[in-house]
Amino acid sequence: MTDKMTVKIPSTIMTAAFTEKDFYVQHFDPKEYLEMYFTFHPEKEEINALIDFILKNLHKAFHSGGIKGDTLIHFGIGSAIYPFLSACESFREIISTDYTDQNLEELQRWLRKEPGAFDWSPIVKYVCELEGDREKWVQKEETVRKAIKRVLQCDLTQPNPLAPLSLPPADCLLSTFLLGVACKDLLTYHFALKNLSFLVKPGGHLVLFALLEESFYMVGQHRFSFLYLNQKSVEEAVKEAGFDIEWVEGTKLNFPSALSDVKRECVLVARKR
């Protein structure tokens, strides 16, 4: 098992300090994160490319690929609703989880339509355009609001990431980048995926988005660590957690060095054995 999890990375990255959860609680601003990484902008091609890859592959997995069921559990960071735009009509119940309370609170503000909540309408319109009808975006937002039944905090490093709750196994787990944030090393990453595997039914799906060859990203003036991964190490961890990979797709990213040192992102769809 040790050989399987050996990843060759630069020594400067290996010694990078891991950002503990307390630092996230104190300094992670969910609104600033969303404005930096999930706002289309004509002069920010790298951000547009990130968003485009994510939304098209969520569409491929849930709308075109036909992944569906009763319950989907999402593990993410940043109080985002984009993971649900293509899945909301394929699942009776969506459970949204996040790393910190402030992210959950920001999501609740959008669910309650509170003034000052992040404006997701450009993202929603883009997904509706992928589905063939850009003008149904208001209906799409309401479908998402109705589908999200619970908003919970999670800890992927615990045997039950949703403790103290004990939920029935879901039909699908969707993970968007949280593993790279919450895991300090590759061993923890493997354990976290095994913890997640207990939350999905045999035959159920895992849809996993990962940022690759990255050690940090910025939110405002604050620097946060990210677990350095390559595609091979992600695939090995998924297989070891009890999943058979159905398809993988990746793309290069070219972020400004002051924002992040990420080089690639990938999406992986797998089925639990």
Which CA distances in Å does 78 have to 31, 110, 118, 124, 147? 8, 13, 11, 17, 19
Q: Is the peptide bond before 30 cis (omega within 30 degrees of 0)?
A: no
Residue 100's nearest CA partner among 169, 156, 164, 141 is 156
Residue 250, beta-bridge partner list: 266
In this structure, the dihedral spanned by the alpha carbons of residues 174, 16, 250 and 187, taken in order and rounded to 10 degrees, is -50
Cα(164)–Cα(167) distance, integer angstroms: 10
Residue 156's nearest CA partner among 199, 212, 95 is 199
DSSP per residue, 122-146: HHHHHHHHHTT-GGGHHHHHHHHHH
Annotated binding site, which residues? 33, 82, 98, 103
Helices (H), the chain: 11-14, 21-27, 30-37, 45-58, 101-111, 121-130, 137-147, 178-182, 186-197, 231-240
Annotated binding site for S-adenosyl-L-methionine, which residues? 33, 82, 98, 103
Residue 167's nearest CA partner among 245, 72, 237, 261 is 72
The helix/strand/coil state of 14 is: helix
| Positive/negative CA dihedral, 178, 213, 200, 1 | negative
